[in-house]
Amino acid sequence: MNPNRKPLVAANWKMHKTLAEAISLVKSVQEETGPCADREVVIAPPFTALEGVGGILKQPGYSLAAQNCHWEEKGAFTGEISPIMLKDLGCQYVIVGHSERRQLFGEKDETVRLKAGAVFRAGMAPIICVGEVLDEREQGKTFEIVASQLEGALNGLSPAQAERLVIAYEPVWAIGTGRTATPGQAQEVHAFIRDKLASIFNKGVEKKIRILYGGSVKPSNIDELMAEPDIDGALVGGASLEVGSFKRLVQFKS
């Protein structure tokens, strides 16, 4: 963790929590953790809970995020939600290109690029996810895959936009499997990503971009991960669904 970049812990609740459950969890976490001055907590509930959760994010340091969006502002896209609708609900971030969107719904790098641009135009910041599947890691293609995803997703973004975006490295083989990249493995890819960002944008911009790790992050490994110099936070799934574990993640020590 670099002290010049404010750490960010993002909770991706995926398809979990009713409105009442979401509000109860957020209230409890805020009450038990209090204000967050030296770190940022981002909560991405289901679409149905965005307005309710946004309405109770009272503690300093907490932000609201959506898990996905369409790239158009409006139109005949049944079942989709536009970035301006999410901005209207108080969202400050939108997760784009999550591995589950890529693996289960066929999203491509070009789709991620379109969504990232739309998120910026709506006045929010994207959390852009990249990462390799197990076969690609075993074949030694991790850097190749991650570089390709970054180039595809970031094409056309300006350096000024780049300073606001967040990158999340999520090795697909470690998501929901209980397997976690070691801190050293994660740091190696995070350092590669930062170098790649320097080549895509003006050199120096990469030092301002926060890069999160996502992949079976839990209370037992958060401190080790956050001690690495290029890991600026975590994108957390299952461990953010319960007050005790989520609180421990927010209160990581490095």
Q: Active-site residue among 40, 170, 206, 228?
A: 170
For 214, other C-beta atoms within 10 Å of its C-beta total: 26
The residue annotated as part of the active site, out of 98, 107, 132, 190, is: 98
Sequential DSSP letters for 34-70:
---SSSEEEEE--GGGHHHHHTT--STTEEEEES---
Could you tell me the CA-to-CA distances from 217 to 134, 175, 181, 228, 237 in Å, in that order? 17, 9, 10, 14, 8
Q: Which among 100, 109, 104 has a CA at the least distance from the CA of 44?
A: 100
Return the sign of the alpha-carbon dihedral for residues 118, 23, 175, 80.
Answer: negative
- Angstrom distances, CA of residue 136 to CA of 91, 130, 240: 34, 13, 28
Structure letter (DSSP) for residue 8: E
Is residue 98 part of the annotated active site? The answer reads yes
The DSSP string of 101-141 is HHHHH---HHHHHHHHHHHHHTT-EEEEEE---HHHHHTT-
User: Residue 233 forms beta bridges with which residues?
Assistant: 8
Which two three-digit tokens encode residue 238?
Answer: 């299952």
- Identify whether 21 is a catalytic site residue: no
Going by the DSSP 8-state scheme, the letter that residue 165 receives in this structure is: -
CB 163 within 8 A of CB 205: yes
Catalytic annotation, residues: 98, 170
